[in-house]
């Protein structure tokens, strides 16, 4: 079995996210990291390999992103991927979800994976949709929020977290599976793996290399356009009630709730 894991470079969790009003795109200038949700997808691939129910020939990390995204690939390799593929091209800048999904699907077609794994969401865009878009282009079944996966030759039995409980679904491979963050506890890379990551094969591809239709990618050819940005309304200051006399405090809380018709 060949597994491709989609990984994305995102602004570090500690960086305040904001839209650059001059470009209408997210300001990605600060510290960046591998999307934390994608570490669960890599771990899921590793657990399939280590589980031994099907032989895993290769785990390939795939990203579309600027030059800096290579660091997310190194991290993915340090977590267990055997090699990585980096789709990067100025023509891709500003791509929306549909364009990103199309370009990633074209990249995956060349790899011909039996299984595509990805995180439930990116920590910046948080669209939760790339899996479905990629699956549609590849003509593969797609499941989201998968928190348990039993792999046999030619099929997957998955448990997915739904709002009302859990679904158990069986799909045939090849398939695109977006894993929920409850699926596993990602491992930490060893120092040796971190040091060795840069030596693992990395293929850099452009739009032309993959025969991607340049009229379907990039900001200009994306259906979604940024129009304006508004800061969320400021929160009103809270009310502090000091508990000097508990009976009195309770009365004050009830009066406060009553005034706002919350009782």
Ligand X SMILES: Cc1cc2nc3c(=O)[nH]c(=O)nc-3n(C[C@H](O)[C@H](O)[C@H](O)COP(=O)(O)OP(=O)(O)OC[C@H]3O[C@@H](n4cnc5c(N)ncnc54)[C@H](O)[C@@H]3O)c2cc1C
Residues forming the site for ligand X (CB under 6 A): 6-8, 25, 35, 37-38, 41, 63-65, 93-97, 100, 104, 118-119, 121-122, 124-130, 219, 222, 224-226
Nearer to ligand X, 62 or 197 (CB): 62
What 45-52 contacts at long range (C-beta under 8 Å, 24+ apart), as own/partner pairs, is: 45/3, 45/5, 45/80, 45/81, 45/115, 45/117, 46/79, 46/80, 46/187, 47/184, 48/1, 48/3, 48/115, 48/149, 48/151, 49/3, 49/80, 51/151
Least distance (Å) from ligand X to the CB of residue 94?
4
Query: Could you give the CA distance from residue 145 to residue 227 in angstroms, rounded to a whole number?
Result: 31
Q: Is 184 helix (H, G, I), strand (E, B) or coil?
A: coil
Q: Phi, psi at residue 259, to the nearest 5°?
A: -55, -35
Q: Which of 183, 101, 186, 185 is nearest to 145 (CA)?
A: 183
Distance between CA atoms of 188 and 240, rounded to whole angstroms? 42
CA distance 85 to 105: 13
Cα-flanking dihedrals φ and ψ of residue 213, to 5°? Answer: -70, 110
State the nearest-atom distance from the C-beta of 57 to ligand X, in Å.
21
The residue among 96 and 159 lying less far from ligand X, judged by its C-beta, is 96
User: Nearer to ligand X by C-beta: 216 or 252?
Assistant: 216
Q: Give whichever of 156 and 176 is closer to ligand X, judged by the CB atom.
A: 176
Closest CB to ligand X among 101 and 189?
101
The least distance separating ligand X from the CB of residue 192, rounded to whole angstroms, comes to 26
Minimum gap (Å) between residue 44 Cβ and ligand X? 11
* Residue 99 Cβ vs ligand X, minimum distance, rounded to whole Å: 7
CB of 130 to ligand X, least distance (A): 3
Cβ distance to ligand X smaller for residue 15 or 252: 15
Smaller CB separation from ligand X, 97 or 171: 97
Distance CA 181, CA 211 (A): 34
CB of 41 to ligand X, least distance (A): 6
Q: Is the peptide bond before 24 cis (omega within 30 degrees of 0)?
A: no
Contact residues for 236 (Cβ-Cβ < 8 A; gap 6+): none
């Amino acid at each position: 079995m060949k597994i491709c894991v989609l990984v994305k470079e995102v602004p570090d969790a500690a960086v305040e996210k904001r839209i650059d009003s001059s470009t209408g795109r997210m300001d990605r200038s600060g510290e960046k990291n591998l999307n934390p949700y994608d570490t669960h997808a890599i771990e899921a691939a590793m657990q399939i390999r280590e589980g031994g129910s099907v032989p895993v020939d290769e785990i390939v990390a795939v990203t579309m992103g600027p030059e800096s995204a290579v660091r997310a690939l190194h991290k993915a390799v340090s977590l267990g991927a055997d090699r990585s593929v980096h789709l990067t091209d100025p023509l891709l800048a500003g791509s929306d979800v549909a364009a990103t999904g199309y370009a990633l699907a074209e990249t995956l077609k060349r790899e011909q994976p039996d299984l595509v794994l990805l995180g439930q969401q990116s920590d910046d865009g948080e669209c939760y949709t790339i899996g479905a878009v990629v699956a549609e282009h590849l003509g593969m079944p797609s499941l989201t929020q998968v928190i348990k996966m039993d792999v046999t030759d030619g099929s997957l039995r998955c448990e997915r977290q739904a709002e009302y409980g859990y679904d158990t679904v069986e799909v045939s491979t090849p398939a695109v599976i977006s894993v929920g963050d409850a699926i596993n506890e990602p491992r930490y890379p060893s120092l040796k793996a971190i040091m060795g990551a840069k030596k693992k094969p990395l293929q850099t591809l452009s739009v032309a290399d993959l025969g991607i239709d340049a009229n379907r990618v990039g900001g200009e050819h994306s259906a979604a356009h940024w129009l304006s940005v508004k800061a969320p309304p400021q929160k009103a200051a809270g009310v502090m009630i000091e508990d000097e006399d508990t009976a009195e405090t309770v009365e004050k809380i009830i009066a406060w709730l009553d005034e706002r018709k919350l009782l």
